[in-house]
Amino acid sequence: MDSVLENSQLSDVYKKAIEPQIGELTGIRNNAQKAVYYGIAVFLLVILFISLVSSGVALAIIGLVVSVIGLIIIGVRGNKAWKLYHSRFKEQVVREVVKLVNPDWAYHPTDMIDSAVYYQSDIFRRQVDRYNGDDLVQGVLDKTDFECSELHTQYKQVTTDSKGRRQEQWVTIFRGLFFHADFNKEFIGRTYVSPDTAERLLGKFGRRFQKISGPAPLVVLENVEFEKAFVVHATDQIEARYILTPTIMEAMLRIKQLYKCEVHFSFIGSRVFCALGMNKALFEPKLFGPVIKLREVEDMYQLFKVNEVIIQELNLNTRIWTKA
């Protein structure tokens, strides 16, 4: 789609479908904001009250109990208001953006790609202790079925400090958009395309490290720019070269440049998997500031368009292979 036409359509959707909803959304969000303000006010009053009646322990305890009850009530009401605002934002803003990209795609704001698919991709091989996500989009583009959603996977790291105290920390494995689609070919082996951080940081030593650290034997390709950006490992060298044609390699480079993030691919079974690391929450409402600006709608549009971009760039609809 021409970028001028895209901008015109986005502006039109923003004015006709989203802008009229901003007043209602603002009113709902105000209830959540009030809970924050009331909570801060109660907290400050507690501090002031305790400082004034420090000599009367019983009175201070009563004041503290009353304040805690008040904070709980405020928190419950604020959480309810936020959940309502969050739900309405997804339906009245995010859904409209998905419809603009492709009205035939299904959008499920509270669902995510199944963890079995994430594990099948074998992109991130660390055991997951916490698996979260939302904004699932499912559809078919021409002949190719796909799914895409935001995912945030973490593992729990347990350490002991110098005094023997146990400490827990949640460490992010992946956070961003996760995509998979039909490749119309049953792969014999597994092919992995990952960001080339080792050689970029360590030079020739990084290349030696790649040979022993990957999920499969290293594959060296002839595209110099591709080799600078990505590292390839595959269980079947011949099949990997079949998959990673010059056209496909150029497409992967364009996807990386377009979204300006770390991009991982894997080709397993009959699917292509793609993980775009964003390291931030996507498609989420804000508690403060403007409810939604046109620029933010444009950003959402480009992120949801990743489904179309990957399918078209990787030429998945051409069907150069047929499944056995």
Q: How does pLDDT run across 69-103, given as a tens digit for each residue?
A: 777 888 888 888 899 999 999 999 999 999 999 99
pLDDT given at position 120:
96
Instruction: Write down the H helix ranges in the chain.
Output: 3-13, 19-52, 57-89, 95-101, 115-121, 197-202, 204-213, 224-229, 237-243, 246-259, 294-304, 306-313
183: which 2 tokens?
A: 């490749």
pLDDT given at position 50:
67
Residue 1: band (very low, low, confident or very high) from pLDDT cuts 50, 70, 90: very low
Q: Flag whether pLDDT at 2 surpasses 60.
A: no
d(CA 295, CA 297): 5
pLDDT given at position 319:
52
Lowest-confidence range among 47-61, 134-148, 288-302?
Answer: 47-61
Q: Flag whether pLDDT at 67 surpasses 90.
A: no
Pairing type for strands 218-219 and 230-234 reads antiparallel
Lowest-confidence range among 9-13, 51-55, 310-314?
Answer: 51-55
Mapped onto helix, strand or coil, the DSSP state of residue 193 is strand
Q: What is the pLDDT of residues 247-259, one digit of tens each?
A: 899 999 999 998 8
The residues, any chain, with a CB within 8 Å of residue 67's CB and separated by 6 or more, are 42, 43, 45, 46, 49
d(CA 211, CA 207): 7
For 212-238, the DSSP string reads HHSSS-EE--S-HHHHHHEEEEES-HH
Averaged pLDDT score across all residues of the chain: 86
Q: State the sign of the Cα–Cα–Cα–Cα dihedral 224, 228, 233, 234.
A: negative
Of the candidates 127, 100, 137, 94, the residue with the CA atom closest to the CA atom of residue 5 = 100
- The H or E element containing residue 144 is strand 144-160
Between 65 and 13, the higher pLDDT residue: 13
Mean per-residue pLDDT, 109-126 = 96
Residue 165: band (very low, low, confident or very high) from pLDDT cuts 50, 70, 90: confident
pLDDT given at position 146:
96
Neighbours of 249 (CB within 10 A): 21
Residue 150: band (very low, low, confident or very high) from pLDDT cuts 50, 70, 90: very high
Q: What is the pLDDT of residues 192-235, one digit of tens each?
A: 999 987 555 445 554 555 555 678 999 988 888 998 899 999 99
pLDDT given at position 205:
52
Residue 179: band (very low, low, confident or very high) from pLDDT cuts 50, 70, 90: very high
Q: Give the CB-side neighbour count of residue 185, counting CA atoms within 13 A.
A: 18
